[in-house]
Structure 1
Amino acid sequence: MVKVGVYGQFIPPLDQAVTYTKTCEDIGFDAVAFTDQISANHPNSAWPELPVAAAWGKQHKFLDASIVMALSAAATERVELYLGAIDVVRHAPSKLAQHFMTLDHAARGRAFFALGASEAKNVLMYGHKRYGSAKKLEDSLAIIRKMFDSHGEPVWYEGEQYSMKGGVFELEPYGSKPPKVLAATGGSPDTLDLVGRYGDGLLTNLPGMCLGGPEQFARDVQLVRMGAERAGRDPDELVFAASVLTLMSEDEDEIQRLASSATLRWNTIVYGAVRGAEWKQFGYTHPLGDDWGYAKNMVPERMSRDEFFAAAEAVPVEAVRSVGHFTGTPEVVAEKLAPYIDAGLNYAFLVEHSPLADPSTATVATANIARLTEIIRGGRGLATAGASVGGYLGVGDS
């Protein structure tokens, strides 16, 4: 059965971020995700005009998610804790291996991770180069796998971007096996084979980063499994996870209202495709061009207020509803998600975007997330009665 989670809180105050994770455990989520960010998605010149700004305050104020995760591990007992994606430009693979194993101990075996090549917004404005990031991802997956499997023997690896020169890694996992390290990456056969060879599974974003639908997801799962088999690894040990972007309401007019907001139109630009050209299969033209992609192009503080709103306003409302999100009632969204679960999705991290468009919808969002969770988990719901609500995800974040 699929496990359901939400994203954690990673803005101050720190104690409330940890309390949020504990609340998510108490109400019955299977997992809480943390993501490695230093920059948010909007230019500050436009931010004050968005309704969510009043609820969030400043936007580029992320805590170190791994520290929040470690403190959350100490405050929880059952919920799984997931850090993904963490980029391989700002973090060298040997350090990541140590980092992951330490968090594995902090969580007492409840932690897992995902690597990503990098997001332009987190590197370019902060003095890092993104050139070569795909090879850094390949080298990082290979080095971490070798370190985890080394049993204290010297590790040697000569990569294009990263290498190991006989480094010794004697830190053992908390349990009998090291924590799983997934990859957030593109869908070419060579790349997916690489994930199967060195990684422990795949992270994607639904629906936008898998616009081929369940058929594409099923193909990607199969290619990763085949790569693992060729490398002599057990494909049944692989894990497939997704951030699932939803926009839910019982009221069709309410969905239309929320989808018309500049915030969700912009989010559809950000998360609605790997490349802008993919919009054409739905009859839409991407406002920032066929070759534009969030990971390689989006640097919010290099965009003016007027450029931001012009791009957002150029997104058709129907694209928000079809390219950017699974929309409808929780029952309808569950039907859309079911084929992905059948194809091998193990973890669904729900991101309900109605409070991002209108923070006053948070209470309704809580109920919709609870209902969706109950459906896709076959009747195992959430104990949301009495839980505080609000904020980005509409659950447990006051």
Structure 2
Amino acid sequence: MTQLRFGYTGQTGPPFDRGLRALPRIEAQGWDFVRFPDQMGSTHPYGMMPADVSPPDDPEALISTYGSQWYGSFELMSAAAVSTRNLGLQCAVIDPLRRSPSVFAQEAMSITHLSGGRAVWCIGSGEQKQFEPFGETRTKPVDRMIEAVHVMNTLWDNAYRPVSRESEYWPLKDAVFPLPLYEGRKPVIRAVGGGPRVEQLAGELCDGWMTFLPGGARNDPAVIAESVRNVRAYASAAQRDPDALDFSAMAMILVAPTDDEARELTRHPAIAWPALWGYGAMAGKAWKELGHEHPFGENASWPKTMKVGEALDPDFARSLPALVPEGIVDATIIHGSPETVVRRLEPFVAAGLTELSFLNMTPWVDRTTGSGFAALMSEIVTGLGGKPLLLDA
């Protein structure tokens, strides 16, 4: 049985020097990898998220989540590559649509060389909030994501050799890729999302599959187990080794010393907002299946319709917790004491995961939790079979 690996969400915004100092400490504590999301802007409406989520009187505290400011993900991956020795590096989630596949392929190969092969990219079909406000067009996103992987593989397989390939989106004509493989290996790519086409891409062309918990699996471990089976079957049919694939999940958690403290924190607008959207990609339809009407309608969708570029009306923002039923909160955010979080995650891990990273939302509400987060997380990691974190590192 593969030993479960655990990842920590790194600092994504200013001040850069503090995030840089945290990286060797993350490695020394015993985390297997650090995860950097790729974003142009906040996951929340303008002004809802704090700019800095760490305690202001504890500048050395590890950053346990993100705020409203975002550095470029490739730049963060590069900084982590040269600041650590063995720590795995994960860019998750990132789309290969706003960057052309050729540029993505070059940047990913560069960081693969820079990191000594420690880097992973988990690619999805993107979110409209990253596209429309910036003059980008998000059309046929899954088609384009699949085609981007084909283009990148073509370039990686033909370093220094002119290569041509027909494509509806990115045709190649005597294209010469300027970097060799790293020790004979391509950059590690995992497909993110649900459905047969993404699962087929993961099994046939990628190095594994990724989702988010619990909402990405409709709060049902059986959904994870089915996707793992499907991806492995596609890999076997393509004469690839299914045991060489990784199955990763990012868990949306709100951890506190007690269940009651965590439950109280869930009733904050900054927590209610992701709960509003996070029960599957098509949140509106998912809510309806559970007998609830979504405040933004049946077609409400995190990747398709969520907008964050403007501040919410203050009265509406304050009303958010009342708009999200407790059952929806429970189905989208794993909250509670470390013991409770472990109990919620165990069935998902048993469904076939090889890797688990954490997005901790607690500092969005209570900034004093930053320095105590590692101790709580050590309880969760050990509860799931990992080694205790070295808290004095």
Please name the residue that 1:393 is paired with. none
Whether 1:373 and 2:381 are equivalent positions in the alignment is yes
Aligned-pair CA distance for 1:346: 1.6
Whether 1:205 and 2:212 are equivalent positions in the alignment is yes
Q: Is the 8 A contact 1:355 1:365 kept in 2?
A: no
Q: Is the 8 A contact 1:248 1:330 kept in 2?
A: yes
- Deviation string, structure 1 residues 180-226 (Cα, Å, up to 9, x no partner): 101222x2223311222222211211001111511111111111122
Match of 2:328 among 305, 319, 323: 319
Moved more, 191-200 or 76-85: 191-200
Percent identity among equivalent residues?
Answer: 28
Aligned-pair CA distance for 1:164: 2.3
Please name the residue that 2:59 is paired with. none
Unaligned runs of 5+ in 1: 388-398
- Secondary structure at 2:309's aligned position in 1? helix
- Amino acid in the other structure paired with 2:41: S
1:312–1:52 CA distance, 2 compared to 1 (3 A): farther
Whether 1:273 and 2:280 are equivalent positions in the alignment is yes
Please name the residue that 2:115 is paired with. 107
- Secondary structure at 1:323's aligned position in 2? helix
- Amino acid in the other structure paired with 1:316: P
Q: Is the 8 A contact 1:53 1:59 kept in 2?
A: no
Counterpart-to-counterpart distance in 1, 2:55 and 2:17 = 21
Moved more, 88-97 or 28-37: 88-97
- Secondary structure at 1:162's aligned position in 2? coil
- Amino acid in the other structure paired with 2:179: L
Moved more, 79-88 or 327-336: 327-336
Q: Is the 8 A contact 1:52 1:357 kept in 2?
A: no
Counterpart-to-counterpart distance in 2, 1:125 and 1:243 = 26
- Amino acid in the other structure paired with 2:216: M
Please name the residue that 2:149 is paired with. 141
Q: Is the 8 A contact 2:48 2:311 kept in 1?
A: no
Matches within 5 A, 1:65-84: 65-84=73-92
- Amino acid in the other structure paired with 1:357: V
Match of 2:7 among 5, 23, 43: 5
Q: Is the 8 A contact 1:3 1:377 kept in 2?
A: no
Aligned-pair CA distance for 1:263: 1.0
Please name the residue that 1:227 is paired with. 234
Q: Is the 8 A contact 1:279 1:323 kept in 2?
A: no
Please name the residue that 1:17 is paired with. 19
In the TM superposition, structure 1's runs of 4+ consecutive aligned residues that sit over 6 Å from their partners are 53-56
Matches within 5 A, 1:340-359: 340-359=348-367
Q: Is the 8 A contact 2:46 2:310 kept in 1?
A: no
Q: Is the 8 A contact 2:374 2:389 kept in 1?
A: no
Aligned-pair CA distance for 1:317: 3.4
Moved more, 322-331 or 33-42: 322-331
Please name the residue that 2:222 is paired with. 215
Please name the residue that 1:122 is paired with. 130
- Deviation string, structure 1 residues 310-363 (Cα, Å, up to 9, x no partner): 44531123422x112122322232232222222221211112222222212334
Aligned-pair CA distance for 1:32: 0.2
Please name the residue that 1:334 is paired with. 342
Aligned-pair CA distance for 1:287: 2.2
Q: Is the 8 A contact 2:53 2:67 kept in 1?
A: no
Matches within 5 A, 1:161-176: 161-169=169-177, 171-176=179-184
Counterpart-to-counterpart distance in 1, 2:133 and 2:236 = 40
Counterpart-to-counterpart distance in 2, 1:189 and 1:302 = 35
Counterpart-to-counterpart distance in 1, 2:295 and 2:341 = 27
Aligned-pair CA distance for 1:170: 5.1
Please name the residue that 2:243 is paired with. 236
Aligned-pair CA distance for 1:250: 4.1
Counterpart-to-counterpart distance in 2, 1:32 and 1:337 = 19
Counterpart-to-counterpart distance in 2, 1:171 and 1:221 = 33
Counterpart-to-counterpart distance in 2, 1:51 and 1:260 = 21
Aligned-pair CA distance for 1:121: 1.7
- Secondary structure at 1:19's aligned position in 2? helix
Q: Is the 8 A contact 2:95 2:125 kept in 1?
A: yes
Whether 1:91 and 2:99 are equivalent positions in the alignment is yes
Query: How many residue pairs get matched?
Result: 381
Counterpart-to-counterpart distance in 1, 2:164 and 2:239 = 20
Aligned-pair CA distance for 1:275: 1.0
- Deviation string, structure 1 residues 87-134 (Cα, Å, up to 9, x no partner): 223111111111111101111111111112111222211111112322
Please name the residue that 1:396 is paired with. none
Aligned-pair CA distance for 1:151: 5.3
Aligned-pair CA distance for 1:249: 3.1
What TM-score do the two structures reach when normalised by structure 2?
0.89
Counterpart-to-counterpart distance in 2, 1:141 and 1:311 = 39
Please name the residue that 2:158 is paired with. 150
1:31–1:326 CA distance, 2 compared to 1 (3 A): same
1:47–1:7 CA distance, 2 compared to 1 (3 A): closer
Q: Let me know the Cα RMSD of the aligned residues.
A: 2.5
Please name the residue that 2:40 is paired with. 38
Unaligned runs of 5+ in 2: 57-62
Q: Is the 8 A contact 1:113 1:181 kept in 2?
A: yes
Moved more, 173-182 or 156-165: 156-165
Counterpart-to-counterpart distance in 1, 2:179 and 2:208 = 23
Q: Is the 8 A contact 1:89 1:128 kept in 2?
A: no
